[in-house]
Amino acid sequence: MKRYVKFFEHLRNELKTKTSRIDFHLHTNWTDGAASVIEMYEKSCEMQLEFILFSEHARSTSSEWFATFAKEVKALPTMPCRAYVGVEARVVDCSGNIGLGTDILSWCDMVVCSVHRFPGVNGDVLSFDNFDKKAALLKEFELLLAILDNSLVDILGHPFGISMSRFGISPTDDMLRAIVQKAQQNGIAIEINTKYCTDPSKLLAFCDKYRAPISIGSDAHSCNEVGDAMKIIEGLTRHD
């Protein structure tokens, strides 16, 4: 069983009562974020978050800086907020591979994998211009299913985020059901990413129905975005 799956399952169950305050999708100025590790950590403490994950973007060529980034995160205080080292990898082919070596993965507490582009059969990247809405949705669905077969992955990042944000099309119920059920079977958390999906009620309902582990992420690239996901989730649970 994956190391953190019980934590993610517990988080899903807590949504009906008191939710552990987490943000498991933070970026810093090590890549495309605006703030430093310490600035994002201090903001997390200010937001009264209990657990955070620095899920920095990385590729196979990121080895030269990733260890220094990881050591910076591991040097943070463990109270009042516990910070974990993570990576947001991109799926690099239709088999669900993430293209990261053991040098980077050895530093990570958790691995988030997301669809950012559509890979071709030869490792190339396909232009979004080649896809209409329906074709894009089907392609992202195929890639998400492939990611869920990768045993290195702990969290499925912003599922259907490309289809919703770039193409303006949402997944069908059958697609959501298939993703959630496979995540549950393989012990991978479904990310409730509120940057790509501002009303995740349906996804949360599917996760609850099929008892899939969940993660919560703001996809924060600046201090003022830290904890945004918790605000939305807590608003939904209070409304319910």
pLDDT digits (tens, 9 = 90+) for 153-199: 999 999 999 999 999 999 999 999 999 999 999 999 999 998 888 78
d(CA 186, CA 58): 24
Answer whether residue 24 shows pLDDT above 60. yes
Range in 56-65, 68-77, 201-210, 228-237 with the lowest mean pLDDT: 228-237
Q: Which residues face 216 on adjacent strands? A: 192
d(CA 30, CA 107): 15
Task: Indicate the pLDDT class of residue 17, thresholds 50, 70 and 90.
Answer: low
d(CA 112, CA 98): 10
Give the residue among 176, 112, 118 at the shortest CA–CA distance from 143. Answer: 118
- Give percent of the chain with pLDDT exceeding 70: 90
Q: Phi/psi class of residue 71: alpha, beta or left (left: φ > 0; alpha: ψ in -120 to 50)? A: alpha
Q: What is the dihedral of CA 33, 228, 197, 140, to 10 degrees?
A: 30
**Domains delineated in the chain:** 5-239 (3.20.20.140)
**Which residue's structure tokens are 């958790």?**
110
